[in-house]
Amino acid sequence: MTEMELIEKAKEALKYAYVPYSRFRVGAALEASDGTVFTGCNVENSAYPNTYCAERTALVKAVSEGYRKFTRIAIVAEKAMPYPCGACRQSLLEFAPDLEIIVHWNGKTEKACLRDMLSFGFGANAFPMEENGEAE
């Protein structure tokens, strides 16, 4: 899938954003290592902390279907360049420290590596996976 096709998937997901409070629509398309794409949109709640960002919506969909390795995520928004928030960076770091972040807004695309965006992020390697019975 080309980068623009991944961005288009994120734009499709943006249509489903539930944003009655912020009116800030975001869509994301997360690509797994086998090429499968999971999309997500932001889902707000009247109790604000219960809001889900588009990136974490896509991540939870993917992991809940058995995917744990990812290569790229495209994130689009209508009102500003949608770099992921700190919570999303940390959530994505758990599965893909070298994830390519592609943000798109107003016809412009910018890219970065997740590891560079979250220096010294808290990693799963703090908990040896063998001891948790969670290898792979």
Catalytic residue set? 55
Among the residue ranges 21-29, 30-38, 45-53, 68-76, the one whose residues contact Zn ion (CB under 5 A): 45-53
Residue number, 85 or 124, with CB nearest to Zn ion: 85
Using CA atoms, how far apart are residues 50 and 52, in angstroms rounded to an integer?
6
Among the residue ranges 17-25, 62-70, 86-94, 127-135, the one whose residues contact Zn ion (CB under 5 A): 86-94
Letters for 46-75 (x = contact with Zn ion by CB under 5 A, - = none) are -------x----------------------
Rounded least distance, CB 40 to Zn ion, Å: 10
Nearest CA to 4 out of 81, 76, 84 is that of 76
Interface residue with Zn ion, options 4, 80, 85, 113 (CB under 5 A): 85
| CB-CB neighbours of 73 under 10 Å | 28
Rounded least distance, CB 131 to Zn ion, Å: 30
Torsion over CA: 7, 103, 84, 81 (sign): negative
Using CA atoms, how far apart are residues 33 and 122, in angstroms rounded to an integer?
23
CA torsion angle for 88, 93, 99, 100 (degrees, to 10)?
A: 40
Using CA atoms, how far apart are residues 94 and 80, in angstroms rounded to an integer?
26
Q: Determine the size of the site formed for Zn ion (CB under 5 A).
A: 3
Judged by CB under 5 A, does residue 88 bind Zn ion?
yes
Residue number, 1 or 91, with CB nearest to Zn ion: 91
Which positions touch Zn ion (CB under 5 A)? 53, 85, 88
